């Protein structure tokens, strides 16, 4: 009879402790079992060896492309000249020069 009571106590204790421990799959806290699997990792980047400069070769000069459009100051000046030649008032000249200088 005593063995039967001990067996019942052990069974009850295992039932009370088991729900928190028994799981078919571990689900980390803060995640959902409905999340899709992670994508495969990206391929490693290509490593290219840079060109080795020659010691006796002259250094190359970088070329700068010249803009066909003048500087902003030059464009404002020419737009103000055009506005003055057209006989616009100072306020109209300012408005005209802003719109004229920002055009392509």
**Tens-place pLDDT, residues 56-91:** 888 778 888 877 888 899 999 999 999 999 999 999
Q: What is the rounded distance in angstroms from the CA atom of residue 102 to the CA atom of residue 98? A: 6
Q: Give the pLDDT of residue 61.
A: 82
Report yes or no: 101 and 77 within 8 Å, Cβ to Cβ.
no
What are phi and psi for residue 82, nearest 5 degrees?
Answer: -65, -40
Number of domains in the chain: 1
Is residue 102 one of the residues assigned to a domain? yes
Torsion of CA 65, 71, 72, 77, to 10 degrees: -160
Is residue 74 one of the residues assigned to a domain? yes
Is residue 81 one of the residues assigned to a domain? yes
| DSSP letters spanning 75-100 | HHHHHHHHHHHTT--HHHHHHHHHHH
**Tens-place pLDDT, residues 3-60:** 888 888 887 777 666 555 555 667 777 777 787 778 999 999 999 998 888 888 887 7
Is residue 50 one of the residues assigned to a domain? no
Is residue 62 one of the residues assigned to a domain? no
Report the predicted TM-score, pTM, of the whole model to 2 decimal places. Answer: 0.38
Is residue 98 one of the residues assigned to a domain? yes
Q: Give the pLDDT of residue 68.
A: 80
Is residue 45 one of the residues assigned to a domain? no
Q: Give the pLDDT of residue 31.
A: 73
Q: 93 is in which domain, residue-wise?
A: 70-104
Is residue 53 one of the residues assigned to a domain? no
């Amino acid at each position: 009879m005593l063995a039967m009571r001990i067996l019942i106590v052990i069974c009850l204790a295992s039932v009370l402790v088991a729900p928190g421990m028994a799981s078919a799959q571990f689900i980390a806290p803060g995640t959902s079992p409905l999340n899709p699997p992670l994508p495969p990792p990206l391929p490693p980047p290509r490593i290219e060896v840079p060109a080795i400069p020659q010691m006796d070769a002259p250094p190359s000069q970088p070329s700068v492309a010249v803009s066909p459009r003048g500087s902003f100051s030059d464009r404002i000046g020419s737009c103000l000249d055009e506005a003055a030649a057209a006989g616009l008032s100072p306020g109209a000249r300012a408005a005209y020069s802003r719109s004229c200088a920002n055009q392509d």
